[in-house]
């Protein structure tokens, strides 16, 4: 029968397109060759260029941190403490004592500040009695058999009408406080009173 296909023809019609498709897939295809990759060695994030387009890793190249320039230590300026800071001491001397002071300083070439401290230190053991004598006080008897009325001694000077000379002496706050404390300890009416007694006992006579 002319209109019918045999089983062989049907099989042949199916196989032929499959063979052509396989042949088409097997045909070579022109593809650009991949560019040659540049050699690159990495170590962490650090790389070194070799100059020819390639880079090499930084190997055994320690990263050196720049240290800040050392600055010379500037010594702090010593500041005087409150007790050793300079201070002025005002002293009023009777005229007779003032003349002896001027004579002593002219011979020894000592400053007034030196004379002040030397006078107190040289008469320190006698100052209690010197103050009492200047105040007109007498030593209390060892044994008291009778009652005595209390009296308050008033400061006195050798000559009440004798003029005085005022001196401003450069010393320290600590020394000034020590002299004030000593006057209070010995019962002197004032620091100036104590110093007058020390000067009077220390300075050579006229």
pLDDT single digits (tens) 120-172: 999 999 999 999 999 998 666 667 777 766 544 444 444 567 899 999 999 99
pLDDT of residue 146: 73
Q: Return the C-alpha torsion angle 48, 49, 54, 60, nearest 10.
A: -30
Q: Is residue 71 part of a domain?
A: no
Q: Is residue 43 part of a domain?
A: no
Q: Is residue 126 part of a domain?
A: yes
- The owner of tokens 């296909």 is 5
pLDDT digits (tens, 9 = 90+) for 103-114: 999 999 999 999
Q: Is residue 27 part of a domain?
A: no
**How many other C-beta atoms are found inside a 10 Å radius of the C-beta of residue 12?**
11
Q: Is residue 170 part of a domain?
A: yes
Higher per-residue pLDDT: 73 or 135:
135
Q: Is residue 123 part of a domain?
A: yes
Find the helix packing angle between 95-108 and 191-202, rounded to 10°.
60
pLDDT digits (tens, 9 = 90+) for 4-33: 555 555 545 554 444 444 444 444 444 455
Q: How far is CA 72 from the centre of its chain?
A: 16
Q: Is residue 169 part of a domain?
A: yes
pLDDT of residue 32: 52
Domain that holds residue 193: 86-138+159-202
Give the residue from 179, 34, 169 showing the smallest Cα distance to 90. Answer: 169
Instruction: Kindly report the average pLDDT of the chain as a whole number.
Output: 73
Q: Is residue 64 part of a domain?
A: no
Instruction: Name the domain count of the chain.
Output: 1
């Amino acid at each position: 029968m002319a209109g019918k296909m045999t089983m062989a023809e049907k099989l042949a019609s199916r196989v032929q397109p499959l063979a052509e498709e396989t042949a088409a897939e097997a045909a070579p295809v022109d593809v650009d060759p991949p560019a040659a990759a540049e050699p690159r060695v990495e170590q962490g994030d650090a790389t070194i260029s070799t100059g020819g387009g390639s880079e090499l890793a930084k190997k055994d190249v320690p990263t050196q941190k720049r240290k800040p320039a050392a600055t010379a230590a500037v010594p702090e300026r010593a500041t005087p403490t409150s007790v050793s800071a300079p201070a002025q001491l005002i002293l009023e001397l009777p005229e007779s004592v003032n003349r002896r002071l001027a004579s002593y300083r002219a011979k020894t070439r000592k400053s007034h500040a030196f004379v002040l401290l030397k006078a107190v230190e040289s008469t320190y053991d006698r100052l209690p009695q010197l103050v009492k004598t200047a105040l007109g006080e007498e030593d209390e008897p060892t044994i008291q058999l009778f009652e005595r009325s209390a009296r308050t001694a008033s400061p006195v000077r050798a000559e009440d009408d004798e003029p005085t000379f005022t001196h401003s002496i450069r010393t320290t706050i600590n020394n000034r406080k020590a002299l004030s404390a000593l006057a209070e300890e010995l019962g002197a009416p004032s620091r100036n009173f104590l110093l007058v007694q020390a000067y009077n006992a220390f300075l050579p006579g006229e």
